[in-house]
Structure 1
Amino acid sequence: MLNRLDDYPIHQTPEPIAHVATTDRNAYDRSWFNGFSIDGEWYFGIAMGLYPHRGVLDCAFSVVRKGGLQHCFYASRRAPSERTEMQVGPFRIELPEPMRRTRVVLEDNESGLSCDLTFSTRTAAIEESRQTLWSGAKRTMDATRFDLFGRWSGTIRTPDGEIQVSEDTCLGVKDRSWGARKLGEAETGGAPPAGKVGAFFVWAPLFWDDHVSQAIIYDDVEGRPLIREALTAPLYDAEPGGPVEDGRLTRLATARHRIAYHPGTRLARSAEIDLVGHDDTLRTIQFEPILKFQMKGIGYMHPEWGHGFWKGDLATGHESFDPAALDMLQAANFHTQQVVRVSDGSRQGIGVLEQVVLGPYAPAGFTAMTDGAA
């Protein structure tokens, strides 16, 4: 099975590009974006994922304003054989300049949400370390990921009115990842997992005056580190030129975290993250959340529009909800991003704090799948 990309010298196996190297049913290839105003008044999230062994291409777009509803658009289709076809119904992603600029368009539709947005990078590409997680002898995630920090311009139309998006006031991150990870309909059959089952994840991309920082944290249910990564990279005033990677990325030794939760929830009320250098230098960053976004609005842990679900040859859907009125002890609401103001004692910045805590987690005192903080 051939497609346009086979005309480029990019092959990693003797097979055509459409033939994925792994036979894992959970193979995926995803684009994810966020964007937020620097005053914390609004946030939007975007996702598009291809699941070649499930035969699905899906997408979502969601917007929330402070004190208002979160509006969500979802779409899914049978995956095309042509990998350059990144369109699902009224939604499409264009790459006018790969690794530099991306255009995201949602045409008018019954959800009342639409957009025409352009993302322009302000960092070189940042490759995170390969992320591999295990359940016993089975790999539950094996993925490569890169990030681009940048700015947005364009227009968003919502049922509550229009948002003018300007590079002067809207920052964001583009996240590309691929590999295999748990998604879609649950697998059945076989013995249940032995021991406690849970997930703890924190992701914290931050903008400072002249650089960006990133912390990636996965823990087991006892709080033992599974994946810890911390890094910094230059932030440029204009789109960077030259090669995709500029060699100025600094990988630190590790990251540590301390999170205080809202009582009765698993949502961070405040947080501190330590970026630890190889020479044991310590940079402690304090986080102040100012706006919450529910990640189910772009498919994460959504019971109906979860990533990779088969919805038919083409399906679209939409919903709106009040983030302040949700039951935050329902598992579908555990996965959040919050726009945060940050300080390391001498500098101030802004970014997002993404978190999901599912199941027991000893450092927070969680002992069941969905209990909350004391």
Structure 2
Amino acid sequence: MLTAGDEYPIHQTPEPIAFAGSDRNFYDRFFFNGYSADGATFFAAAMGIYPHLNIIDGAVSVLRGGKQSSVFFSRPLNMERMDMHVGGLSVEVLEPLKRVRLKLAETDGIALDAEFTGRSAPIEEPRFTRRIGPRMMMDLTRMTQNGRWSGKLRIDGQEIAIDPASWTGTRDRSWGVRPIGAPDPQPMIPPMPPQFYWLWTPTQFPNLSMFFHRNDDEHGEAWNTRAVLMPDGAPQGSGLHLGEANMDVRYAKGTRRMASATLAVKDPSGRPHTVEFEPMGTFLMKGLGYGHAKFRHGAFQGDQLMTVREDWEPASLTWANPENLHIQEIVRAVHKGPDGETSTGIGAYEQLFIGKHAPSGFKDMLDGAG
């Protein structure tokens, strides 16, 4: 089947663009977040394309005043991967690797029209490849970029101006293989308990962006990690890589939620730096479909367009519900350098902690910190 994508020199296999290899879990996703300088308003959006499931879905979610509101969308893809809209939600690439427009026509009281401009070129994170026993769980590439937002957001009749002087955020593009749609009914032999320890902290400082992420196994050994600085205007591949990165997470007692954290790193000259993170608000990633019991990514929602709104008060929900494990904390960040100088920033502190993690004292699926 030929589609609009076949007009562009973007083929990755000998087949037309409509096909993406042979793994039914192949996906291609856009993710965005944005926040005001005071952290009072936070929005995020996602759009996923699943060629072998023939589904496209997306969501926009807004956290403000302790309330999180989301609208979810899903429709058949019709094998057209270049048609990047689902319901009132659309993504338009204005300038590759630099400017993107994110638009939501008013849907169930939420509307957004905003343009993202990268502060520097995106970074390419190390390829994520992870097996559980003999099965491939993840095999993907992701690029991540910090930037500034301009436009407007409207929720339940209240319009909020998005001024690039005070609104920043992060976008990423990831593609490859990860669990999507209906879970595999075939049991693993032998059974293996779930384990996933994930931290991701794209942070905005006055003249640069900092990126840190880490995936640990149950023993606390990192199987994927990177720490890098990107000065404003830096071209692709020019980031300043930081060494000996270690994140000390202090959990709220009896939970797996970060209460505060310190990232310790060394610059290329071997000088020590720290970044202190303090949470200002909790955003539930299920508001974009991540781990959502019904609106999980790639789930079949019928052969017509589906649109649904949901609302939560994150502070009132138990952390231990599996749906609520994956979060982004809006954080204030304070950098301290070896010369005693400090700078203050803001960012998102994403965490997903499932199963054992020896350094944290987690010994079971959902036990909390002591």
Bucket of the pairwise TM-score, normalised by the shorter protein: over 0.9
1:39 aligns to what?
38
TM-score of the aligned structures, taking structure 2 as reference length: 0.93
The worse-fitting range, judged by mean Cα deviation, of 149-158 and 300-309 is: 149-158
Of 278, 289, 297 in structure 1, the residue corresponding to residue 279 of structure 2 is 289
**Whole-angstrom CA distance in 1 between matches of 2:189 and 2:100:** 43
1-structure distance, mates of 2:299, 2:20: 19
Matched, 1:300 2:290: yes
Q: 1:333 aligns with which of 316, 324, 329?
A: 324
Distance in 1 between the 2:250 and 2:182 partners?
A: 33
Distance 2:177 2:56 in 1: 15
Match of 1:175 in 2: 172
Equivalent position amino acid for 1:100 in 2 = K
Q: What is the CA-CA distance between 1:6 and the residue it aligns to?
A: 1.5
Cα offset for 1:17? Answer: 1.5
Which residue of the other structure, out of 75, 87, 93, is the alignment partner of 2:73?
75
Query: What is the CA-CA distance between 1:120 and the residue it aligns to?
Result: 1.4
Q: Taking every aligned residue pair, what percent have the same amino acid on both sides?
A: 39
In structure 1, what residue type is equivalent to 2:204? F
Query: 1:106-255 to 2 correspondence within 5 Å?
Result: 106-109=104-107, 111-159=108-156, 161-236=158-233, 245-255=235-245
The equivalent position to 2:103 in structure 1, one of 97, 102, 105, is 105
How far has the Cα of 1:281 moved from its partner? Answer: 4.0
SS in 1 for 2:201: strand
1:297 match: secondary structure: helix
Q: How far did residue 280 of structure 1 move?
A: 4.6
1:324 corresponding residue in structure 2: 315
CA contact (8 A) 2:329 2:349 kept: yes
Structure 1 residues 204-255: Cα deviation after superposition (integer angstroms, max 9, x where no partner): 111112211111100012212111211111124xxx8xxxx44422233453
Name the counterpart of 1:362.
Answer: 358
User: Which secondary structure state, in structure 1, belongs to the residue aligned with residue 202 of structure 2?
Assistant: strand
Change (3 A) 1:136 1:290: same
Offset at 1:184? 2.1
The code of the aligned residue for 1:371 comes to: D
Question: 2:13 and 2:48 mapped to 1: Cα distance?
Answer: 22
Is 2:13 the partner of 1:17?
Answer: no
Kept in 1, the 8 Å contact 2:35–2:169? The answer is: yes
User: Matched residues in 1 for 2:245 and 2:130: separation?
Assistant: 18
Shift of 1:292: 1.3
Measure, in 1, the Cα distance between the counterparts of 2:35 and 2:109: 20
Deviation digits for residues 316-364 of structure 1, max 9, x if unmatched?
Answer: 1111111110111111101111111112222222111100101222222
Q: Which residue of 2 aligns with 1:52?
A: 51
What code does the residue aligned with 1:206 have? T
- 8 Å CA contact 1:335, 1:357 repeated in 2: yes
In structure 1, runs of 5+ residues without a counterpart are none
Given that 1:230 and 1:254 are in contact with CA atoms closer than 8 Å, whether structure 2 keeps it comes out as: no
Matched-pair contact (CA < 8 Å) for 1:287–1:343: yes
C-alpha separation between the residues in 2 aligned to 1:257 and 1:196? 25
**Cα offset, 1:299, TM superposition:** 0.6
Partner of 2:368: 372
Aligned residue number for residue 339 of structure 2: none
Letter aligned with residue 63 of structure 1: V
Asked whether the 8 Å contact 1:216–1:255 carries over to 2, the reply is: no
Query: TM-score normalized by structure 1?
Result: 0.92
In structure 2, C-alpha distance between the alignment counterparts of 1:359 and 1:324, rounded to whole Å: 23
| Cα 1:209/1:191, change in 2 over 3 Å | closer
1:275 is matched with 265
Amino acid at match of 2:137: T
Backbone CA RMSD of aligned residues: 1.7
- Partner of 1:347, secondary structure, is strand
Determine if contact 1:56/1:308 at 8 Å carries over to the other structure. yes
C-alpha change, 1:55 and 1:82, in structure 2 (3 Å) is: closer
- Provide the rounded CA distance (Å) in 1 between the counterparts of 2:241 and 2:12: 27
Q: Is the 8 A contact 1:339 1:351 kept in 2?
A: yes
Offset of residue 274 of structure 1: 2.2
Letter in 1 for 2:369: A
Counterparts in 2 of 1:203 and 1:16: CA distance versus 1, 3 Å: same
Give CA deviations for 1:125-146 in whole Å, capped at 9, x if unaligned. 2111111112123221011111
- 1:167 is paired with a residue of what secondary structure? coil
Partner Cα distance (1:182, 1:354) in 2 = 19
Instruction: Tell whether 2:62 aligns with 1:63.
Output: yes
Higher mean alpha-carbon deviation, 42-51 vs 179-188, is at 179-188
* 1:267–1:82 Cα change, 3 Å: same
Q: 1 CA distance for matches of 2:245 and 2:6?
A: 40
CA distance in 1, matches of 2:223, 2:268: 19
**Matched residue of 1:332: which SS?**
helix
Q: How many residues align?
A: 364
CA contact (8 A) 1:35 1:170 kept: yes
Instruction: Please state how far the C-alpha of 1:277 moved relative to its aligned partner.
Output: 4.5
